[in-house]
Amino acid sequence: MRLTRLRDGHAPALLAFERENRAYFARSVPDRGDDYFTGFEARHAALLAEQEAGLCHFHLLVDERGAVLGRVNLVDVTDATADLGYRIAERATGRGPAVAAVREIRTRAATDHGFETLTAATTADNPASRAVPTRNGFVPVGDTDLDGRPGTRYQVRPGQWIGCSHA
């Protein structure tokens, strides 16, 4: 498995990943809705434009065949902060890819982008997803609402993520 920056050529594999895992994701995170899938090409182009402008940094976790196993994104970039988001394919869960991918993006956030703070949020009813930030040095900083679902907000502060070995 490798973490790679989102590119135009990823569109077909990314769409297949989202379709294949839609029902699985909807059990623990808000569904993207039908418009996401019908307007996928335009949405993908918009994401690439946001990335080019430095507003977000999108990454895919891919296997040796190029199939998408997950997404790990840094969004809402402001000054030296970003929000971390991730989703892993149902077929890849439970084997550690989310923890490893977040560990790698945590390091890239500091070294490649100079971020001092990352935040993340998970729904309260998803213990596997809640374990990912804590195993990567994030600490709970409060409750949040994720489209009507209760959740927890996490943060990793300056200097905490380089060399973190909570995994």
Coil, strand, or helix at residue 117? Answer: strand
Q: For the chain, what are the domain ranges?
A: 2-156
pLDDT band at 166 (very low <50, low <70, confident <90, very high): very low
Q: Could you tell me if residue 67 is left (phi over 0), alpha (psi between -120 and 50 degrees) or otherwise beta?
A: beta
CB 123 within 8 A of CB 107: no
pLDDT tens, position by position, 139-161: 999 999 988 889 999 999 645 65
CATH of 2-156, one of 3.40.50.300, 3.30.1010.10, 3.40.630.30, 3.40.50.150: 3.40.630.30
